[in-house]
Amino acid sequence: MNSNNSVYVRMMVDVLKRKEKILQQILEQTKEQEVILKQEDVDYDRFQELLDEKGRQIDELNQIDEGFDALFKKVEKEITVHKKNYLTEIVTMQKLISSVSDLGLRIQALEAQNSERFKIYLASKRKQIHDYHVNSQTASRYYQNMANSHRPEQSYYFNEKQ
Looking at the domain assignment, is residue 157 inside a domain? no
Looking at the domain assignment, is residue 147 inside a domain? no
- Assign 116 a pLDDT band (cuts: 50, 70, 90): very high
Looking at 39-86, list the stretches that DSSP marks H as alpha helix, in order from N- to C-terminal side: 44-81
Looking at the domain assignment, is residue 152 inside a domain? no
Q: Is the pLDDT of residue 19 over 70?
A: yes
- Assign 154 a pLDDT band (cuts: 50, 70, 90): low
pLDDT for residue 118: 86
d(CA 107, CA 32): 12
* Region 24-46 average pLDDT: 93
Looking at the domain assignment, is residue 138 inside a domain? no
How many Cα neighbours within 13 Å face the side chain of 75?
25
Looking at the domain assignment, is residue 82 inside a domain? yes
pLDDT for residue 156: 55
Share of the chain above pLDDT 70, in %: 81
- Reference 13, options 119, 80, 73, 91; nearest CA is 91
**Mean of all residue pLDDT scores within the chain:** 86
pLDDT for residue 139: 66
Looking at the domain assignment, is residue 130 inside a domain? no
Residue 110: give its domain's CATH number: 1.20.58
Looking at the domain assignment, is residue 18 inside a domain? yes
Into how many domains does the chain fold?
1
Q: Is the pLDDT of residue 102 over 80?
A: yes
d(CA 73, CA 66): 11
- Contact between 124 and 44 (Cβ < 8 Å): no
- Assign 64 a pLDDT band (cuts: 50, 70, 90): very high
- Assign 44 a pLDDT band (cuts: 50, 70, 90): confident
Q: Which residue has the higher pLDDT, 125 or 69?
A: 69
- Reference 111, options 62, 20, 50; nearest CA is 50
d(CA 31, CA 79): 38
Looking at the domain assignment, is residue 103 inside a domain? yes
Share of the chain above pLDDT 90, in %: 60
What range does the domain containing 7 cover? 3-120
